[in-house]
Structure 1
Amino acid sequence: MVNKITLTLFLIISNNIFTGYADTTTCTGIHIQNSSTSTCTYITTTTSCNPKGYINYLQIYYCNFSSFPQAGFILLLIWLVILFYILSNTASDYFCPAVEHLSNSLNLSPAIAGTTLLPLGNGCTDVFSTVIAFTTTADGGDIGLNSVLGGSIFVTTVVVGVMSLLITYQKKVVVVDKPNFIRDVVFLLVTLTNVLVIVIIGEIGLWLAIVFVLTYVVYILLVCYIHFIHQKKQKQKQKLVFGSVNDGIGDDHVIRVPLLCSVEEENVVHPVEKVVHCEEQVVDRRSVVTIVNLLLYVVKLPVYLPRRVTIPVVTKERWSKPFLVISMVLGPLMVGVVWNTKEGSLGLKGSLVTYFVVGAIGIGLGTCTYAFTSSTMPPQRCLVFWYASGFLMSVTWTYVTCNELVSLLESLGNIIGMNPAIIGLTVLAWGNSIGDLAANVALAMYGGPDGPQIAMSGCYAGPLFNVLIGLGFSFVFVSWSKYPAAYVIPEDPNLCETIGFLMVGLLWALVILTKREMRLDHTLGGGLLVIYLCFLFIKLARAIGLLG
């Protein structure tokens, strides 16, 4: 979700930054037109100005709002916020629950699920943004590379730094698990080294891209191995401890200590309840709350309803048979529309056979759902099918939203005359990572004794997933399209600089934590924040022309 910093950055850039470069391949010639009419004609007649998503934002800004450009820019910013909200809300309300329930239905262990399904839920927006950027943008995936690397440096420096400073401020002593931390950091360093080599070489083939993706499988196997070894040691310790304690004592005589100590009721002092007669005030407050909730519901309805009628939900809290039946009918149809829709339009231009097939599948699934499900409780059988359906449709919505998001960001880059790579490093990276900041910091502060360890693991396992899976699958797709030739990496010397800053942050954390007995403190947090501020200053200074 976009915060105030992101919106402020957009406004500052739009008012003060104008690089003025013209390129016929990236639609930057809009800044050299003499009038609004010529600009509108240029946009509608130039192929490179065609949108990568479903909406032509340049046409809206330069043609429909040519007389009121400020209003048009504000409208695009509002739509940017809505797109980020759809991304985060789809992940939290639909994708992550589907992943969690699917993991439980498949009986996956926490270690395996934590390195496969859960990172997929947390990093799905980054992965899809990267794949879409690589496969649709005219600059050859420059936004995709910079957004993944920018998001990774944000999480490993800002999130870890803020978390360390807050823990130090509360005078809490948090010791990070050393083997898991070193494993994640070393794997991430090796992965970034591979990316650096690929960028320096300037191209990547299909088989090398496949090997790059398979590196994540090696990581998962190592996590599972460490997990099973840890479980084995824990069982051995339990046998030794309980064996010595229970010698000669039956199971019935073992003293079991409850997790929470009970409190005697007679020792509890209950405060005297003060009865205040203010029925009229209560009624007024309830009416105000009702009106506010109704207004919020009406505002959110256009964003909520399309997803609700296409994504199957079978949880008790949100169970509704009519919605489930409708989603089973419309879900396959939406997949068919997305599959057959061409760039720049949302018309039914695909094969009629495809629509006939998906329509028949939807009607069949809807009929079966109506006949074999209860109106009062969600289904109890074939849960893997229901959760997999919700997983697929949430992935589809994420794909569509990311496609539109990348198109909007590229259009904004053209409007403000800024390099799309900087847009990826700031807005797209912040937007995809602000959720990690809120979730990991909250988990570290209020997640109990295991919260900081889980949050620290997520700060390094998440970027590792985004780089290996996001960039990896992007490399596979684009190299596959070029096969047998290799895919040429965009020439951007700043990529090496970004990777260098990211590796410096990882090495700083590795050195400081090992020297300070794996304790999170202000030295670790302050150093990481300084590294990110230096990185951001150099990028923005180069964007506005202060640096060459």
Structure 2
Amino acid sequence: MVVSSVFKLTLFLIITSCATSYGDTAITTTCTAIHHQNSPISKCNYVKTNAGCQPKGYINYLQIFYCNFSQFPQLGFILLLLWLVVLFYILSNTASEYFCPAVEHLSKTLNLSPAIAGTTLLPLGNGSTDVFSSIIAFTASSDGGDIGLNSVLGGAIFISTVVVGVISLLITYHRKIVIIDRPNFIRDVVFLLLTLSNLLVIIIIGKITLWASLLFVSTYIIYILLVSYMHFNTMKKHKTILDIPEDDQNITAPLLDSIDEEKAIQPPEKPVHHEEQVLHEPKTCIATFLYVINLPIYLPRRLTIPVVTKERWSKPFLVISVALAPLMVILIWNTQEKLLGLKSSLVVYFVVGSIGIALATCTFAFTSSTTPPQKCLLFWYAIGFLMSVTWTYLTADELVSLLESLGNIIGISPSIIGLTILAWGNSIGDLTANVAMAMYGGADGTQIAMSGCYAGPLFNVLVGLGFSFVFVSWSSYPVSFVIPEDPNLCETIGFLMIGLLWALVILPKKGMRLDHTLGGGLLVIYLCFLCIKLWRALGLLGACCDNLLG
């Protein structure tokens, strides 16, 4: 599913790149000519017959707008915007209700520190699409290297500026005091700066050999070893501190008792008046109405994502989700890839369905109806993590398809769509997961999210671009692979480094506290980067420079 989703995104980027490079000669591969049609009937026929208007997701939004709502375009546009809001809600809700608890419980089960969880689990979940997209972009087309580089670097600057900026501003808005771990933060930022410097050298040289690409990928192994060393060293120090004499423990006991007593003091309960009971009835009606509306959104995820927490424990839901999860994965893969025939599909569905039924039978037989399972927790949390990632990127893929269709309806050029809408859509998973982890992930959630904001781009650059370099240099061995010439790559790396240096300077000065200075500055840096890119795409930057020089 992830490979298929990224392949479609990469294919569209290739189409838009060709359209930008060759002008009107490539316009037939896109859907931009829809605005040249004069009548609603001709627009509907154009959408149905032109391959560039086919949906990248499951729903053909252009056909709905131009065919089903041709007489009421305003109503069609409003419905698409409402569906856009629903997709954003599904993304954020999936991250907060399923993804974040799965990451938190996985890290606790594996005894991972927040830093290690943020540098392993979050990049693995959020960066899989970027890695596949980069590899496919490098290997699928002759000019795909340029697309792969831009997609990875564009996502890296979005995550390290916008996502970190939004987290910082939200923390400040909610008046939370969050102290980021200094050694882990400095390690991640410095490692990312060194990686970008190496990538900049590769781009300036213009070519890379197989051994150089292998060395570039192995940098991530060094990074993980350093993270593990720092983690175990910290755990060793904490263990030494905890191993104190009993007399010292007795000294600290009264202080702990006093703190517990303060926490135990609760304000007196307010008496419930008759007026409050009367006002409670309309609130109940509103809650019931919202529950009915939310049920079609809630039920499919609840029936396919296993949840084994005490707060949300339900044995029937667990049994059904274990049975349906494999079927959902194979159904998504088969409907998007379309590689299997009818007979092969039936065989695969039968085998996968049998596996799901067997797992559901074992779950029903060996789990209690009152308490969640206490054994094989790693298996349950891993399945919940994988299915939440599946739902996140399935929704993000549909969201990207809707955003692309809205861009065609509004009349935005393909180059700007690829620069803004698809870049943002590809990073929506990172934005929702990291922000939700920071706000709802408990005491260590912000630390995990911040680690993921820098470890994620590092993972994408070293693993995504690294393996891409390995594959293309292997195919051209012993000749070096020539890096596509693109002066804008150096500009993107420059802005990315500016954002990292801003965080590296501001955060230690603020005592490692997230505040509006850090967040606002990062958002301003990304806004300047985006404005320059848009001005260049629209041809305004060159005109301004000519006027200044003239």
TM range (shorter): 0.7 to 0.9
Checking the alignment, whether the CA contact within 8 Å between 2:326 and 2:353 is kept in structure 1 is yes
How far the C-alpha of 1:377 sits from its partner, in A, is: 2.0
Superposed, 1:476-487 pairs within 5 Å as none
Counterpart of 2:187? Answer: 183
Counterpart of 2:15? Answer: none
Return closer, same or farther for 1:338/1:203 CA change in 2, 3 Å cut-off: farther
Counterpart of 1:321? Answer: 315
| TM superposition score normalised by structure 1 | 0.75
Return closer, same or farther for 1:387/1:234 CA change in 2, 3 Å cut-off: closer
Q: Secondary structure at the match of 1:311?
A: coil
Q: Distance in 1 between matches of 2:473 and 2:361?
A: 40
Q: Distance in 2 between matches of 1:195 and 1:476?
A: 11
Counterpart of 1:13? Answer: none
Superposed, 1:521-536 pairs within 5 Å as 527-536=521-530
Q: Distance in 1 between matches of 2:51 and 2:242?
A: 69
How far the C-alpha of 1:398 sits from its partner, in A, is: 2.9
Q: For each residue in 1:219-242, what CA deviation from the matched residue of structure 2 results, as whole angstroms up to 9, or x when unmatched? A: 121111123334445566777xx5
State the number of aligned residues.
Answer: 511
Superposed, 1:156-175 pairs within 5 Å as 156-158=160-162, 160=164
Counterpart of 2:362? Answer: 368
Checking the alignment, whether the CA contact within 8 Å between 1:103 and 1:113 is kept in structure 2 is yes
Q: Distance in 2 between matches of 1:288 and 1:346?
A: 53
The range that moved more, 475-484 or 377-386, is: 475-484
Counterpart of 2:129? Answer: 128
How far the C-alpha of 1:301 sits from its partner, in A, is: 1.0
**Aligned partner of 2:532: which letter?**
I
Q: Distance in 2 between matches of 1:366 and 1:170?
A: 42
How far the C-alpha of 1:254 sits from its partner, in A, is: 5.3
Q: For each residue in 1:343-378, what CA deviation from the matched residue of structure 2 results, as whole angstroms up to 9, or x when unmatched? A: 599997862210110121122222222233222222
Q: Distance in 2 between matches of 1:481 and 1:207?
A: 9
Counterpart of 2:4? Answer: none
5+ long unaligned stretches in structure 1: 1-18
Say if 2:74 is the partner of 1:73. no
Match among 291, 302, 307 for residue 297 of structure 1: 291
Counterpart of 2:419? Answer: 422
Counterpart of 1:408? Answer: 402
| TM superposition score normalised by structure 2 | 0.74
Q: Secondary structure at the match of 2:541?
A: coil
How far the C-alpha of 1:324 sits from its partner, in A, is: 1.7
Q: Distance in 2 between matches of 1:171 and 1:89?
A: 23
Return closer, same or farther for 1:300/1:432 CA change in 2, 3 Å cut-off: same
Counterpart of 1:218? Answer: 222
Match among 318, 328, 352 for residue 346 of structure 2: 352
Q: Distance in 2 between matches of 1:31 and 1:518?
A: 52
Q: Distance in 2 between matches of 1:68 and 1:491?
A: 47
How far the C-alpha of 1:305 sits from its partner, in A, is: 0.9
Q: CA RMSD in A?
A: 4.7
**Aligned partner of 1:128: which letter?**
T
Q: Distance in 2 between matches of 1:406 and 1:187?
A: 31
Q: For each residue in 1:395-451, what CA deviation from the matched residue of structure 2 results, as whole angstroms up to 9, or x when unmatched? A: 3323422332333333333333332322347742674465478558759xx988x88
Return closer, same or farther for 1:381/1:173 CA change in 2, 3 Å cut-off: closer
Q: For each residue in 1:471-517, what CA deviation from the matched residue of structure 2 results, as whole angstroms up to 9, or x when unmatched? A: 667x4899699898999988765444322211122223335567888
Match among 115, 133, 139 for residue 119 of structure 2: 115
Checking the alignment, whether the CA contact within 8 Å between 2:160 and 2:499 is kept in structure 1 is yes
The range that moved more, 109-118 or 358-367, is: 109-118
Counterpart of 1:541? Answer: 535
Q: Secondary structure at the match of 1:319?
A: coil
Return closer, same or farther for 1:64/1:143 CA change in 2, 3 Å cut-off: farther
Return closer, same or farther for 1:487/1:428 CA change in 2, 3 Å cut-off: farther
Counterpart of 1:308? Answer: 302
How far the C-alpha of 1:519 sits from its partner, in A, is: 7.6
**Aligned partner of 1:502: which letter?**
L
Q: Distance in 1 between matches of 2:86 and 2:175?
A: 38
Say if 2:338 is the partner of 1:336. no
Counterpart of 1:15? Answer: none
How far the C-alpha of 1:390 sits from its partner, in A, is: 2.2
Q: For each residue in 1:240-272, what CA deviation from the matched residue of structure 2 results, as whole angstroms up to 9, or x when unmatched? A: xx5xxx6xx86786553534635989xx9988x
Return closer, same or farther for 1:29/1:390 CA change in 2, 3 Å cut-off: same
**Aligned partner of 1:305: which letter?**
L
Counterpart of 1:103? Answer: 107
Return closer, same or farther for 1:259/1:516 CA change in 2, 3 Å cut-off: same
Superposed, 1:242-253 pairs within 5 Å as none
Q: Distance in 2 between matches of 1:539 and 1:264?
A: 58
Say if 2:383 is the partner of 1:389. yes
* Same amino acid, percent of matched pairs: 65
Q: Distance in 2 between matches of 1:168 and 1:311?
A: 33
Counterpart of 1:12? Answer: none
Checking the alignment, whether the CA contact within 8 Å between 1:159 and 1:441 is kept in structure 2 is no
Match among 72, 83, 91 for residue 95 of structure 2: 91
Q: Secondary structure at the match of 2:44?
A: helix
